[in-house]
């Protein structure tokens, strides 16, 4: 995985790395990254899972009850280089919430962000340090990813744009328009909609 190589190249000391996945889509990506980093550097990189639900700034505006997910932070983030792992970044609000939540677990030396897809519609000044693919979308469109534990190199059609799916490797991506009625189940390994 190219992103793992970039992380190793940018890292001063691999022992300081700590992967923190944002559920749901960030979890399989973080697992794949941890395996790749172990293969490349020979180090076991710790991985945590961080629920951002209660740190979001749009809790009162969503109109639905928030769905809490698990948080698992097996070791301290103090003086570690924390890599937040997200599947799709759009406005930057989830990453902002993750940074707020992360500070409750200690004081990292640095925080970097990994995302498979960057949609680029920032509402906050959030930088993605390691990105798999930039996929510009129109307002009202949604990006959904299907990422298996091995981050399979399969592509799917771009439903909203009708474009070729050949350029979408190494992940499965579907861009849905506002009016597209296809459903999705997060437990099925789909993530996105950021």
105: in domain: yes
162: in domain: no
The whole-chain average pLDDT of the chain stands at: 77
Number of neighbouring beta carbons within 10 Å of residue 31: 18
- CA 143, 144, 145: angle at the middle one, nearest 5? 125
> Per-residue pLDDT tens for 34-83?
999 999 888 889 999 999 998 888 777 766 777 888 899 999 999 999 99
The pLDDT confidence band at residue 144, using thresholds 50, 70 and 90, is confident
Provide, rounded to the nearest whole percent, the portion of the chain with pLDDT above 70. 71
Any residues with CB less than 8 A from the CB of 63 and at least 6 apart, and which?
none
Q: What is the pLDDT of residue 147?
A: 55
Q: What is the CATH number of the domain that holds 105?
A: 3.40.50.2020
Range of the domain at 106: 2-138
The pLDDT confidence band at residue 12, using thresholds 50, 70 and 90, is low
Count of structural domains within the chain: 1
| Count of residues in the chain | 194
42: in domain: yes
18: in domain: yes
163: in domain: no
26: in domain: yes
47: in domain: yes
Please determine, for residue 188, whether its predicted confidence score (pLDDT) is greater than 60. Answer: no
155: in domain: no
DSSP symbols for the chain: -HHHHHHHHH-S-GGGEEEEEPTTTHHHHHHHHHHHHHHHHS----EEE---GGG-TTGGGS-S-------B--S--TT-EEEEEEEEESSSHHHHHHHHHHHTT---SEEEEEEEEE----SS----SEEEEE----TT-EEEEE--TT--------TTT---SGGGTTSEEEEE-TT------GGGTEEE--
In whole angstroms, give the CA distance from residue 167 to residue 42: 32
């Amino acid at each position: 995985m190219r992103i793992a190589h970039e992380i190793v190249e940018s890292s001063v000391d691999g022992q300081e790395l700590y992967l923190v996945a944002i559920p749901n889509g960030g979890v399989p990506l973080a697992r794949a990254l941890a395996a790749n980093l172990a293969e490349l550097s020979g180090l076991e990189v710790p991985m945590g899972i961080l629920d951002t639900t209660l740190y979001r700034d749009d809790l009162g505006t969503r109109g639905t009850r928030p769905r809490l997910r698990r948080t698992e932070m097996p070791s301290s983030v103090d003086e570690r280089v924390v890599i937040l792992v997200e599947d799709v970044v759009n406005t930057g609000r989830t990453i902002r919430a993750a940074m707020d939540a992360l500070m409750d677990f200690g004081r990292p030396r640095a925080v970097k962000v990994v995302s498979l897809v960057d949609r680029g519609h920032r509402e906050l000044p959030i930088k993605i340090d390691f990105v798999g693919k930039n996929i510009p979308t129109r307002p009202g469109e949604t990006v959904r990813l299907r990422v298996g534990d091995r981050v399979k190199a399969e592509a799917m059609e771009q439903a909203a744009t009708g474009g070729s799916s050949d350029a979408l490797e190494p992940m499965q991506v579907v861009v849905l328009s506002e009016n597209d009625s296809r459903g999705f189940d997060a437990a099925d390994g789909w993530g996105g909609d950021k």
